[in-house]
Amino acid sequence: MVLLSLEKVKKSFGEIHAIDDVNLEIDKGLISIIGPNGAGKTTLVNVISGTLFPDEGKIMFERREITKKPMTERVKMGIARSYQLVQLFGNLTVYDNIRACCILRKNLGMKLLSSVKKFKSVSEECEEICERFLLSDKKDMLARDLPHGDKKLLDVAIAYALRPKILLLDEPTSGLSVYERNRVMDIITSTVKKDGITTVIVEHDMDIVFNYSDRIIVMHEGKIIADGKPEEVEKLSLVKSLVMGG
Amino acid sequence: MLAYILNGIFFASILFLISAGLALTFGAMRILNIAHGSFFALGAYLGGTFVILVADTGVPVYMYLALLIPAVIVGIIGLGLEVSLFRPIYEREHVYQLLLTFGLVLIFEDIFRLIWGTTSYTAPQPYAYLGTIKILGFEYPIYAFLVIGTGLLALIFLTYLLGKTKTGKIIRVVTENRFMAASLGVNTKKVFSLVFLIGAVLAGLGGSITIPMLVALPGLAVEMVILAFAVIIVSGLKSIPGVFLTSLIMGILRSFGVVFFPELVLFIIYLVVIIVFIFRPRGLFG
Amino acid sequence: MKNIIRIEKLRITEKSKVVTVVFVLILIFAPYLFPGHNTYLLALSLVMAIFAMSFNLLFRYLGLLSFGQAAYFGTAAYVVVLLYHHLGIDSMPILFLTAVAVATALAASFGYICVKYTEFYFAILTLAIGELLYFLAIKLKWLTNGTDGLGITYLPLLWTNTLNTVVYYYLVLIVFLISVLFLWRLTHSPFGLIIQTIRDNPTRIESIGVKIRRYQWITFIIAGVYAGVAGALVVPLYGHIVPDILRWHVSGEAIFMCLLGGYTSFLGPIIGALIYTFIKDHLIAELIYWQLVLGIIIVFFALMFREGIVGLVRRGVRGVP
């Protein structure tokens, strides 16, 4: 069963066709979306996550139409995302950042009088997620004090804490050194592969893209111009000149 | 009937003088200066002081000139505050800005008490001197027209400044998007100072021009800033003429309200604000 | 390495527990440790601490700056004196419960409108409410006696009356301890965590499914309850209530107490209230220009010093809650 599909999706900002007639089916694995700036990658992620609504076209998730559904509903259905500019709860600890999401997922937000520590399942989940993202030794640090690499990881961890079926990551390695990038991607991929979460990543670093992806989608001026396994996409001269400067 | 409308325009002029300044600073600088009302009150108190000083000289013209000085003084003080206190906190979270201006309100209130006391402060000489004029069967104070005139002058000045001058254009660009303006090479610091100066001058002028017909009491500053804020919310912050029209509406409402529901005048104004907030959150002209 | 960190943390929690216990013990034996007028001041401090907690709940945990907590504080106080004067009621439970109920209802109604708006608008709206009520208190002379205000001589209390400062102090202490306990629970509950996420990143938490307005509204109501409780309790201590109690400078005192003690800590508002009440009492004779000092210090804090006195202490001594 196809998890997510887009049919003839268009989104414009004034005269600019950010996404122009995109058709896409996503099922399993780690899919990278690449392309030059302005190709429409982030808009695509926005339209899937619910940050924006398309002008035309249909988006289906698990056979249900979600084209105009608000983001909060999509989260409940299992679509979660991280952000290019990290969106964390700066004054809370790493642990609490994750804990807040677990609490919300279990609908415990309105408990006014019970100590948050009482919910063992929440605590266990938080510990587990911290370990998965290698943040355990920093779990009492305030999110705003984290080094940049860990901030990016926490941003993903927050989305992961919502136990999504599909994870959309907008430039999860941007701003990181080459070593850090691999570290972050290793952590992310080991987690999502272990849980079988479909992951869509917008990425600029070609090494990362070709080392970690199961599938690569190339976008240019709002359209998808290539879509396939890394080995196939690599060979297309079009892609070479456009994206890799070759 | 005409008297009520004239009264309405009179109130509107006062409202406009204080609201326009707040609209400018809030719009361009995204900072809500609660102490803006204190500028108004300072203008009023200073205006009264100068009038009283000059009243004995026996030269009537001096009284009216005296009313212009506070605007300058308030402007200078405002600019001083902006440079020393506001600048460091522009990039900080809004709560600190609010706290700062709130602290300033308290400071000003006690300074007013210190210098001018807690009983009502008035300076009716300029008002009394001009007497009244007979319009359509009733007497109306000529001084009120002076106030209305000042308000209209301010409107013309601001509209011209913002619409036709290069400086005005820069101010508008900064209001739209100050980050973009900065990247275009605009010295936003200077623009902020200028905007703040204009706002302070207008507020001070509003206070001083009104003192001959107003009673200054402790708490005037807060009362005025809330009214100014009400005007801004209702007008939607998009244009100066919008602020003027809103002031007009509020002024006339108040003028009629005072006659029919004297005890509930403030209520009516707040009610209007709430209704507009609910049904047209962007303001009447936003 | 991990073991050492765990032991460190244990020490810190032990320390805070000891500090708290010592603190509570001092409060329990206060009338004997600090007799006479100081007992009165302590009672007033604890009431003001509840008022300060009302402000800090909104400010520290939600990031909302309310310039109008005095509205609920003053309303509760007025309800007590009004019922006493016009209906002759002097039963403390009835007076206090009604006062808190009215203050809460007010907070619920105004809060509903206020939370729809962002910081600046919210701040001014809260300011306006206090002024509006002040205006009413002055104009409705037949009800409130205008600027002259209304007073009570005393209320019967158990076997004695409220003029017996020691007994009243213990009543205040009990209410204070319950308030603190409840606030501690609230801020360490799932609800408490979520409102902090609203403070830090409302866009993200909203996209995850939080109805921000609802959380803000509930918090606003609870803050109103605290302000109301303080307002009711303050009446026998003040003796006389005037319309000024509704105005922004009273709200300013709550803000000041939180900043002074340090709004980033739980104890901060309480310490701030204690220090402020005692200083005010000793200096008020010499320092009539109180708002000036308050204003200057608030400006100072806004510019520089966020952590207050508890923050200073914390830097030297770890483990203060």
The verdict on a CB contact (< 8 Å) between B106 and C132 is no
Q: And the tokens for B58? A: 């026996």
Query: Which chain C residues contact residue B84 at CB under 8 A?
Result: none
Residues 6 or more apart from C53 whose CB is under 8 A from it? C179, C180, C183, C226, C269, C270
Which chains reach chain B with 3 or more Cβ–Cβ distances below 8 angstroms? C
Which chains reach chain C with 3 or more Cβ–Cβ distances below 8 angstroms? A, B
The mean pLDDT value for A122-133 works out to 90
- Cα atoms found within 13 Å of the Cα of residue A159, Cβ hemisphere only: 31
Which of the residue ranges B75-79, B241-245, C8-12, C189-193 would you say has the lowest mean pLDDT? C8-12
Which range, A67-76, B25-34, B276-285, has the best average confidence (pLDDT)? A67-76
Give yes or no for residue B286 having a pLDDT over 70: no
In this prediction, residue C314 carries a pLDDT of 59
In this prediction, residue C181 carries a pLDDT of 93
The verdict on a CB contact (< 8 Å) between B98 and C289 is no
For A15-63, write each residue's pLDDT tens digit.
888 888 899 999 889 999 998 887 889 899 999 999 889 999 999 999 8
CB contact, 8 Å: C196 with chain A? yes
Stated as kind and residue range, the H or E segment containing B135 is strand B132-135
Contacts 24+ apart (CB under 8 A), A144-149: A144/A88, A144/A90, A144/A91, A146/A94, A148/A175, A148/A176, A148/A180, A149/A176, A149/A180, A149/A183, A149/A184
In this prediction, residue C269 carries a pLDDT of 93
In this prediction, residue C273 carries a pLDDT of 94
Q: What residues of chain C have any CB closer than 8 angstroms to a CB in chain B?
A: 59, 63, 65, 67, 113, 116-117, 119-121, 123-124, 127-128, 131-132, 135, 139-140, 247-249, 252, 255, 259, 289-292, 294-303
The mean pLDDT value for B85-103 works out to 81
- Cα atoms found within 13 Å of the Cα of residue A166, Cβ hemisphere only: 21
In this prediction, residue B173 carries a pLDDT of 83
Give yes or no for residue A182 having a pLDDT over 60: yes
In this prediction, residue A243 carries a pLDDT of 61
In this prediction, residue B245 carries a pLDDT of 87
Q: And the tokens for A170? A: 């907008």
* pLDDT per residue of chain C (321 residues) written in tens, 0 to 9: 445 444 555 555 677 788 888 888 888 888 888 888 889 999 999 999 999 999 999 999 998 889 899 999 999 999 999 999 888 888 889 999 999 999 999 999 988 888 877 777 788 888 888 888 888 888 888 888 888 888 888 888 877 777 888 889 999 999 999 999 999 999 999 999 999 999 999 999 998 888 999 999 999 999 999 999 999 999 999 989 999 999 888 998 898 899 888 888 888 899 999 998 988 887 765 566 777 877 888 888 777 755 566 565 555 555 455
In this prediction, residue B263 carries a pLDDT of 67
In this prediction, residue B227 carries a pLDDT of 85
Angle ∠(B4,B10,B15) on CA atoms, nearest 5: 125
C-alpha A174/C-alpha A177 separation (Å) is: 9
C-alpha A216/C-alpha A33 separation (Å) is: 6
Query: Which chain C residues contact residue B100 at CB under 8 A?
Result: 298-299, 302-303
Q: Is A165:A79 a contact under the CB 8 Å cutoff? A: yes
Cα distance from C209 to chain A (closest Cα, Å)? 5
C-alpha B151/C-alpha B131 separation (Å) is: 20
In this prediction, residue A240 carries a pLDDT of 64
Dihedral over alpha carbons C221, C291, B104, B18 (to 10 degrees): 80
C295: nearest CB among B98, B110, B274: B110
The mean pLDDT value for A183-195 works out to 91
* C62: helix, strand or coil: helix
For A131-180, write each residue's pLDDT tens digit.
999 898 888 899 988 999 999 999 999 999 999 999 999 999 988 998 88
Which chains reach chain A with 3 or more Cβ–Cβ distances below 8 angstroms? C
Q: And the tokens for A226? A: 């290539």
C-alpha B200/C-alpha B206 separation (Å) is: 10
Looking at per-residue confidence, does C114 or B178 come out higher?
Answer: C114
Reported as a pLDDT band with limits 50, 70 and 90, residue A246 is very low
Query: Which chain C residues contact residue B32 at CB under 8 A?
Result: 120, 123-124
Q: What are the distances in angstroms from CA C205 to CA A15, B85, B276, C211?
A: 32, 33, 29, 9
Looking at per-residue confidence, does B16 or B130 come out higher?
Answer: B16
B and A touch per CB criterion (3+ pairs under 8 A) = no
In this prediction, residue C1 carries a pLDDT of 46
C292: nearest CB among B110, B223, B277: B110
Reported as a pLDDT band with limits 50, 70 and 90, residue A235 is confident
> Residue B196 phi/psi, 5° resolution?
-65, -40
In this prediction, residue A129 carries a pLDDT of 92
Scanning every residue of chain C, which has its alpha carbon at the shortest distance from the alpha carbon of B99?
Answer: C302
